[in-house]
Structure 1
Amino acid sequence: MASTLAALHSINHDAAVKAGVRVLQPSEVRQSLAHNMEQAKHLLNISETIWQR
């Protein structure tokens, strides 16, 4: 898995975009993940006590 991850990180971003792959910056990934987690929290009705664990 490590070699696959290393290969993924070495892909040329411009070539990936031209091939139709959505390329995100780390800050965009963090923002998207935080948004998705908040949605899951509300949809699954997770209490704040459990959420803070």
Structure 2
Amino acid sequence: MSVELVEVVRSGFRECVHRGSLIVLDPQGEVVVSLGEVHTPIYPRSSNKPLQA
């Protein structure tokens, strides 16, 4: 299940919400922060291009 990660407010009104999952690892690979369903497989597509180059 995704969670609300970002909320956009314009002129005091909630304009939109971006949902997703997030995980932050330390240099040893241990979980520092985990939000949402981080074990669900995904297809990263274009977000991997900097790593593929």
TM-score normalised according to structure 1 size: 0.19
Q: TM-score, normalised by structure 2?
A: 0.19
Q: Which structure ranks higher in relative contact order (CA pairs < 8 Å, sequence separation ≥ 6)?
A: 2
